[in-house]
Amino acid sequence: MRVLVTGAFGQIGTELTEHLRAMHGSDQVMAADIRPPRAGSPAAGQPWVHLDVTDARALESLLTEHRFETIYHLAAILSGKGEENPQAAYHVNMTGTMNVLEAARKHGVGRLFLPSSIAVFGQDSPRDMTPNETVLRPGSMYGITKVAGELLLEYYVQRYGLDVRSLRFPGIISYKTEPGGGTTDYAVDIFVHAVQGRRYRCFLTEGTRLPFMYMKDVIRAVDALMDAPAELLTRRCYNISGFSADPGDFIREIRRVYGDFAVSFKPDFRQDIADSWPRSVDDSPARQDWGWHPEYDLSRVSQDMLKHVSQILQQAPGLGCLPGA
Ligand SMILES: NC(=O)c1ccc[n+]([C@@H]2O[C@H](COP(=O)([O-])OP(=O)(O)OC[C@H]3O[C@@H](n4cnc5c(N)ncnc54)[C@H](O)[C@@H]3O)[C@@H](O)[C@H]2O)c1
């Protein structure tokens, strides 16, 4: 096996694993998660191994058995779920990341991808075109673990020469599996409700502007960063973004197709998290160093989401892989 993906059945892992298997061959990519894939997701029926990343011994024996060249460490607890259980978020995101870095160091893994998040920013960071290098004082436990994860991976790069690379993802929009409990999940749920003809109750206010990326751009960005020659990288953690939008922008796009789509707003605890995050980020270092450029803006994302969510729901109306479905 050449590649290990942890957290392989999450929102990103499901599609990244599918993509990596298409690229390297199914027998070269090991999918690992603490739970089985959801019925109806592209990972259902595919081979996988049970792995709890907080279990250092389990990781150690997996890396002893297989000589992985690359690890994509996606196992994590995200912002919304993290605020519901901060201790669990600390444990999975900190202990899990440390365990993966240590196992990779001991076993000479060639390259690691450790995603970070716009949650590293906080009230003291500039909210518009937030620079790559700025004050990082997040208010959420998720953000705290992501800042610490960035510092830790840079330590492993400098101290041990491990080749670790990271992207600070914004909210990610996709249709193949349910998002895992983040502050931007509404941007997936809203499409599913529109297609099903159901009223949507949004947990953020209409004007809450945040940066987003479509999954197809996420996969392209991960590939581009992982393939970039190390000498081109001026840093290890990069801001990245596709476009910025608020719930009102999504509603306007959806109503071009579903004119009577009804939405109400009931902000919950995630509003405070969103209010501490950037409205937009400056990803010019990623553009300059390894040629990042997004292909999907809000209008293209909306068209693609409505098309694919409709197809999925027509084929299997009871499919559990989509939120609210
Ligand atoms: N989705 C987004 O909008 C977004 C935005 C910014 C950053 N990220 C980052 O990208 C990475 C992947 O995110 P995602 O959206 O796919 O998350 P997700 O919640 O959809 O998936 C995470 C996966 O990790 C697994 N997991 C949880 N605890 C585990 C453990 N102890 N051991 C092994 N597996 C465990 C879960 O079962 C799940 O399948 C995370 O590091 C996340 O912080 C995601």
How do the domains of the chain map onto residue ranges?
Answer: 3-171+213-239, 173-211+243-277+297-315
How far is it, in rounded angstroms, from Cα 23 to Cα 139? Answer: 39
- What phi, psi does 181 have (nearest 5°)? 110, 40
> Do the domains at 3-171+213-239 and 173-211+243-277+297-315 have one common CATH topology?
no
Q: How high does pLDDT run on average in the chain? A: 95
Fold of 3-171+213-239: Rossmann fold (3.40.50)
DSSP state, residue 291: -
pLDDT for the residue numbered 323: 52
Indicate if 142 belongs to the active site: yes
Residue range 233-280, pLDDT digits in tens:
999 999 999 999 999 999 999 999 999 999 999 999 999 999 999 999
Closest CA to 208 of 179, 186, 240, 193: 186
* 166-205 pLDDT, tens digit each: 999 999 999 998 887 889 999 999 999 999 999 999 999 9
Q: Is the pLDDT of residue 103 over 80?
A: yes
Point out the catalytic residue in the list 72, 90, 142, 200.
142
Q: Give the percent of the chain with pLDDT over 70.
A: 97
Q: Is the pLDDT confidence value at 24 over 60?
A: yes
SS3 assignment, position 128: coil
In the structure, what pLDDT confidence band is assigned to residue 101 with cuts at 50, 70 and 90?
very high
What is the CATH code of the structural domain delimited by 173-211+243-277+297-315? Answer: 3.90.25
For residues 221 and 117, the answer to whether their CB atoms sit within 8 Å is: no
Residue nearest to atom 44 of ligand 1 (CA): 169
Ligand 1 binding pocket, CB closer than 6 Å: 6-7, 9-13, 33-35, 51-54, 74-76, 78, 92, 96, 115, 117, 169, 171-172, 179-182, 184
**Distance separating alpha carbons of residues 217 and 200, to the nearest angstrom:** 26
Q: What is the pLDDT, as a whole number, of residue 39?
A: 86
Question: Distance from the CA of 258 to the center of ligand 1, in angstroms?
Answer: 31
Ligand 1, atom 15, lies closest to the CA of 11
The set of residues, in sequence order, having a beta carbon less than 8 Å from that of 177 and lying 6+ positions away, is 9, 10, 11, 14, 15, 37, 38, 41, 42, 43, 321, 322
Q: What percent of the chain has pLDDT over 90?
A: 91
Residues facing residue 166 across a β-bridge: 237
d(CA 129, CA 131): 6
Closest CA to 276 of 147, 77, 148, 143: 143
Q: How does pLDDT run across 297-320, given as a tens digit for each residue?
A: 999 999 999 999 999 998 876 555
The pLDDT score that the predictor gives to residue 315 is: 85
Asked if residue 73 has pLDDT above 80, the reply is yes
What's the first-to-final CA gap in the chain, in angstroms? 35
pLDDT at residue number 296: 98
Best mutation site among 33, 62, 114, 153 for ligand 1 pocket (most ligand atoms within 8 Å of CB): 33
The mean pLDDT of 40-68, rounded to a whole number, is 95
- For residue 325, the model assigns a pLDDT of 41
Beta carbons of 68 and 3 less than 8 angstroms apart: yes
